[in-house]
Chains A and B, each alone.
Chain A
Amino acid sequence: MMDALLDIQDLKVCFHIPEGVVHAVNGISYKLNESETLAVVGESGCGKSVSMLSILGLIPLPPGEILDGKALYRGSNLLAMSEEQLEEIRGKEIAMVFQDPMTSLNPVLTIRRQVTEAFRTHIPMSQEQAETRAIELLDLVGIPDVPQRLREYPHQFSGGMRQRAMIAMALSCGPKLLIADEPTTALDVTIQAQIVELVMRMRDQMGMAVIWITHDLGVVAELADRVIVMYAGFMVEEADVHSLYQDPRHPYTIALLSALPRADRRRDRRLKSIPGAPPSLLVEPRGCPFARRCELVLERCWAENPPLDLCSPNHKIACWVDVKTGKPR
């Protein structure tokens, strides 16, 4: 069997704040293969971003604490690496694109300075070489009149252009894995479509793997091979994209999909809403995190957290109930 590019095992992350302990990620495990596109979906506070940031050493410790787990990148554990070792991988092998392109670019440095910095840290080259490379990269991501725009500052770029510049920086060292953390959330739909198309084209050209973190089940349907659904710091469902949409098996995934209206269909019903709100992460998790909002809740759900296991080939859920019958699995 082929070795996974990234293998996360039982990752647990918490944050110590004055009010107590925030249980942000409560033991997640998954594998990502080379050139695979994985989408991590969930609502705000479900731990989707924190899980990615923590494996790259990007959360402040303290208040953050990685309680347990491994994150094997091509066999070596990112969580056990020194800062120097991690720097070799971060930006070069694993690159990241963030949600808000305005706050992740430095407002007082030119685009040229920021784009060239991204690869000069990893590849020694002269000023001219760097400039040529920057022009190539920005051209590749579809920024018009690059030589002119290289001299500009981030505020002179529109939201979509900034995100393109961020993607150019992320791709500059030819990463094996691109982690995109809600890269289109701050953008309008027509610009979102441009960015999704760009990332998919780059992925196919460069053969890299992509982890796309989002709350938007519409975007996921367009680009993912496989999907992980997270809720309150737990993985609740993992499946290939077609099974997840055609045959969702976790009550939370089912509820989310039926809470979404469709632009391509006539209205046929009221939206099904999920009562209540996600649980507070300050409380030590006990039982299934979704139990309080679940229609099919059983006695057992309150006491024991269901493990993530196979319900059919390549399809895993963390649930005690068989949603088809409403009976225990």
Chain B
Amino acid sequence: MMAKETLVEVENLKKHFPITRGIIIQRTVGAVQAVDGISFNIFRGETLGLVGESGCGKTTAGRTILALYPVTEGTVKIDGMDVHNARKSDLLAIRCKAQMIFQDPFASLNPRWTVSAIVSEPLRVHKLYSNHQERSDAVKELLELVGLSPRLINRFPHEFSGGQRQRIGVARAVATEPCFLVCDEPISALDVSIQAQVVNLLEDLQDRLNLTYLFIAHDLSMVRHICDRVAVMYLGKIVELGSKDEIYEKPLHPYTVALLSAVPIPDPATSRKRKRIILEGDIPSPANPPAGCHFHTRCPRVFEPCDKEEPEWKDVGSGHYVACHLF
């Protein structure tokens, strides 16, 4: 394999949303620390999975990486360009290279626009084709690329099923020939038989167009299938990162261990023999996260330093990192 080239660099990224009180004079009384200092690299051509439970900040992280939210602290570089300090023209160039696929194929397509208008919008914004005819040909090609018939170009989103809509979303995302895609739960709104279609499409496109994915998901089985490396998030922080087989076979962080033991396995012979770790309680509020290690309130292996000191981000070898006092 060739030396790995870093495409996306995320350095100590923080995104806090202010909590305000008062109607006319708004005072900031606190902050939801949705993403609280995460760092990782994504190599060109790979798929990095970002997993965690709802409210852990994975969607916010994805959106902040693409500058859909202004950043609170930290830097994001995509192909060498600083996303949050770019001039407007540079930001447009970055957006051309980095696109997003959204979770809900029903909410992310304008119901009053035809497929043609939806898929050609990025082409118009980035002025990629000079005339209408060329754009229209490009749209037809894109639809074919994602497995939809070019004849459907003048239909509206409501005429499509969930899986087909997600294909339209994918066509729109790859229209500008990006190199980096943030896929925010692209399959979680779809039925099982349709999920596999969309996942296979994403894999085919990755091969054909040499794409790099940040795959945000809570379905840990699908993440193992599609990703090369996996980062596990809990309450705004990444607690563990490593190659997928390392993470799934030798998880270190007690949260990762518990999360994996809770994943249902579609095979009664295996799943009934398995020892499950059932975590007590719920995720604490990100507006008021626990001191020290954020996980210590639910951790089955909590010990002395956990509620006081924040664990360091440690390299445990072969690209496997963990933030836990046990290691």
**For chain A residues 272-308, which have a beta carbon within 8 Å of chain B?**
272-275, 277-278, 293
Which of A5-13, A78-86, A169-177, A218-226 forms part of the interface with chain B? A218-226
B263 at the interface (CB under 8 A from A): yes
* Cβ contacts under 8 Å, B196 to chain A: 259, 271-274
A329→B194 CA distance, assembly (Å):
29
For A144, A270, A293, the residue with the greatest tally of chain B CB atoms inside 10 Å of its CB is: A270
A230 to chain B, nearest CB (A): 13
A217 at the interface (CB under 8 A from B): yes
**For chain B residues 186-238, which have a beta carbon within 8 Å of chain A?**
191-197, 199-200, 203, 218, 220-222, 224-226
A264 at the interface (CB under 8 A from B): yes
- In the complex with contacts A222-B268, A259-B193, A273-B263 CB distance below 8 A: no
- Cβ–Cβ contact A263 & B260, under 8 A: yes
The proximity string for A residues 216-240 relative to B, scoring 1 for CB distances below 8 Å and 0 otherwise, is 1111111000000000000000000
Number of contacting residues on A, CB 8 A? 46
- Cβ–Cβ contact A242 & B269, under 8 A: yes
A247 to chain B, nearest CB (A): 12
A237→B245 CA distance, assembly (Å):
35
- Cβ–Cβ contact B269 & A190, under 8 A: no
A49 to chain B, nearest CB (A): 14
- Cβ–Cβ contact A218 & B262, under 8 A: no
- Cβ–Cβ contact A263 & B282, under 8 A: no
- Cβ–Cβ contact B269 & A261, under 8 A: no
- In the complex with contacts A158-B282, A190-B53, A260-B266, A255-B271 CB distance below 8 A: no
**For chain B residues 262-284, which have a beta carbon within 8 Å of chain A?**
262-272, 276, 278-279, 281-283
CB-contact partner of B192 in A160, A221, A256, under 8 A: A256
For A190, A197, A218, the residue with the greatest tally of chain B CB atoms inside 10 Å of its CB is: A190
A155 to chain B, nearest CB (A): 14
- Cβ–Cβ contact B263 & A222, under 8 A: no
* Cβ contacts under 8 Å, A189 to chain B: 53, 218, 220, 259, 262-264
B249 to chain A, nearest CB (A): 8
- Cβ–Cβ contact B282 & A222, under 8 A: no
* Cβ contacts under 8 Å, A274 to chain B: 193-194, 196-197
* Cβ contacts under 8 Å, B193 to chain A: 43, 255-256, 259, 273-274, 278, 293
A30→B192 CA distance, assembly (Å):
25
- Cβ–Cβ contact A262 & B200, under 8 A: no
B163 at the interface (CB under 8 A from A): yes
* Cβ contacts under 8 Å, B199 to chain A: 271, 273
- Cβ–Cβ contact A188 & B225, under 8 A: no
A257 at the interface (CB under 8 A from B): yes
* Cβ contacts under 8 Å, A219 to chain B: 264
- In the complex with contacts A190-B279, A215-B192, A263-B260, A257-B218 CB distance below 8 A: no
A324 at the interface (CB under 8 A from B): no
B54 at the interface (CB under 8 A from A): yes
CB-contact partner of B265 in A192, A264, A270, under 8 A: A264
A245 at the interface (CB under 8 A from B): yes
* Cβ contacts under 8 Å, B225 to chain A: 261, 267, 271
**For chain A residues 172-230, which have a beta carbon within 8 Å of chain B?**
188-194, 197, 215-222
CB-contact partner of B264 in A160, A221, A266, under 8 A: A221
* Cβ contacts under 8 Å, A215 to chain B: 191-192
* Cβ contacts under 8 Å, B313 to chain A: none
A25 at the interface (CB under 8 A from B): no
B135 to chain A, nearest CB (A): 29
**For chain B residues 151-197, which have a beta carbon within 8 Å of chain A?**
161, 163-164, 191-197
* Cβ contacts under 8 Å, A43 to chain B: 191-193
A261→B200 CA distance, assembly (Å):
12
- In the complex with contacts A190-B53, A274-B193, A262-B264 CB distance below 8 A: no
CB-contact partner of B163 in A191, A197, A277, under 8 A: A277
- Cβ–Cβ contact A261 & B222, under 8 A: yes
**For chain B residues 282-308, which have a beta carbon within 8 Å of chain A?**
282-283
Grouping DSSP codes into helix (H, G, I), strand (E, B) and loop, the B interface class, with mixed when no group exceeds half, is helix
The proximity string for A residues 33-68 relative to B, scoring 1 for CB distances below 8 Å and 0 otherwise, is 000000000011000000000000000000000000
A161 at the interface (CB under 8 A from B): yes
A263→B226 CA distance, assembly (Å):
11
* Cβ contacts under 8 Å, A270 to chain B: 200, 203
B94 to chain A, nearest CB (A): 32
CB-contact partner of A222 in B224, B259, B260, B272, under 8 A: B272
- Cβ–Cβ contact A193 & B262, under 8 A: yes
A215→B220 CA distance, assembly (Å):
16
A152 to chain B, nearest CB (A): 14
B40 at the interface (CB under 8 A from A): no
B258 at the interface (CB under 8 A from A): yes
CB-contact partner of B268 in A241, A260, A267, under 8 A: A241
* Cβ contacts under 8 Å, A221 to chain B: 264-268, 271-272
* Cβ contacts under 8 Å, B269 to chain A: 242, 245-246
CB-contact partner of A267 in B191, B224, B258, under 8 A: B224
A217→B271 CA distance, assembly (Å):
11
- Cβ–Cβ contact B195 & A188, under 8 A: no
**For chain A residues 126-169, which have a beta carbon within 8 Å of chain B?**
144, 158, 160-161
- Cβ–Cβ contact A217 & B192, under 8 A: yes
* Cβ contacts under 8 Å, B43 to chain A: none
A261→B281 CA distance, assembly (Å):
28
Binding site for B on A (CB under 8 A): 43-44, 144, 158, 160-161, 188-194, 197, 215-222, 241-242, 245-246, 255-257, 259-264, 266-267, 270-275, 277-278, 293
- Further pairs besides A189-B264, A261-B225: 6, Cβ < 8 Å: A44-B191, A188-B218, A193-B279, A215-B192, A273-B196, A273-B199
25 A-B contacts (beta carbon < 8 Å) = A43-B193, A188-B218, A189-B220, A190-B259, A190-B262, A191-B282, A192-B262, A194-B279, A215-B191, A219-B264, A221-B271, A222-B271, A246-B269, A256-B193, A259-B193, A259-B195, A261-B222, A262-B224, A264-B248, A264-B270, A267-B225, A271-B200, A274-B196, A277-B164, A278-B191
